[in-house]
Amino acid sequence: MEGSRSRRVDKRGYEQSVEDQDDLPGSKKPKLPALASVIVEALKVDSLQRLCSSLEPLFRRIRLKILSEQ
């Protein structure tokens, strides 16, 4: 029983030290992006990939036509 109490105290002490570090202006802790911004970014990348995939055959035909005219 005594051992579990000391573990709880150690854990609280660690949590307090982490909270104290978060308040420091020069803290080097990397910020994680919000889930919504990650989802929006993934949707943008997917849309851009689909656009490029649909334009690729068109660009190939144009290039082939230009090269055949020369």
In the chain, the amino acid numbered 3 is G
Give the distance, in angstroms, between the CA of residue 25 and the centroid of all CA atoms in the same chain.
Answer: 23
Category of 54 on φ-ψ map: left (φ > 0), alpha (ψ -120 to 50) or beta: alpha
Confidence of residue 22 (pLDDT cuts 50, 70, 90): low
Confidence of residue 28 (pLDDT cuts 50, 70, 90): confident
In the chain, the amino acid numbered 25 is P
pTM: 0.48
- From residue 33, alpha-carbon distances to 40, 61, 68 in Å are 11, 41, 49
In the chain, the amino acid numbered 38 is V
CB 21 within 8 A of CB 29: yes
**pLDDT tens, residue by residue, 33-63:** 899 999 999 999 999 999 999 999 999 999 9
